[in-house]
Amino acid sequence: MSRPEAVWQGAHPALWIAIFGGLIAFAWEMFQLPLYSTDGLGPVEAAYRCGLASFGDAGIMVAAYLGASLGNRRTPWIVDWPISRFLIYLAIGLAITSVVEILAVGAAWGWTYSPTMPLVPGTKIGLVPIIMWVLVPTVTLWLSRKMGLGSA
């Protein structure tokens, strides 16, 4: 018996990536909050700031997905999940995240790490945001793929 070919159903993958990515990123942002200097933020302000950060994270995931989709003749690529597209997706997200961290840490509009934040060796970039950009986008793609393929 042959296995039926997987077919994408429903909304564009970018929609699911934005939804799942934003929700998972919000949980991650709240989890990693102690690694940033919060200067006594109240719970509402902390949730607001983590919400803004997760909104940005979701936007980066969508941009990374669309960037990895360039030149792809078969769409959406997460149906077959080719390793080359997946690695491009992660690389785009890691590059954007690294630039944002470099620009934002210590800037008046940005954030400051607490002394407990481990740094990527040889840089001033937090290790936890880099780990986030492997784990959260991978889980987001997996959930988005499940949603788009339905029961197929």
CB 39 within 8 A of CB 112: no
What pLDDT is stored for residue 63 in this prediction?
97
What pLDDT is stored for residue 75 in this prediction?
66
What pLDDT is stored for residue 27 in this prediction?
97
Per-residue pLDDT of the chain (152 residues; tens, 9 = 90+): 444 577 888 889 999 999 999 999 999 999 999 999 887 788 998 899 899 999 999 999 999 999 999 988 776 899 988 999 999 999 999 999 999 999 988 788 788 899 999 999 998 899 999 999 999 999 999 999 999 987 54
Residue listed under structure tokens 């937090």: 126
What pLDDT is stored for residue 109 in this prediction?
79
pTM of the model: 0.90
What pLDDT is stored for residue 71 in this prediction?
85
Residues in contact with 26: Cβ distance below 8 Å, sequence separation at least 6, in sequence order: 50, 51, 54
Q: What is the number of helices (H) and of strands (E) in the chain?
A: 4, 0
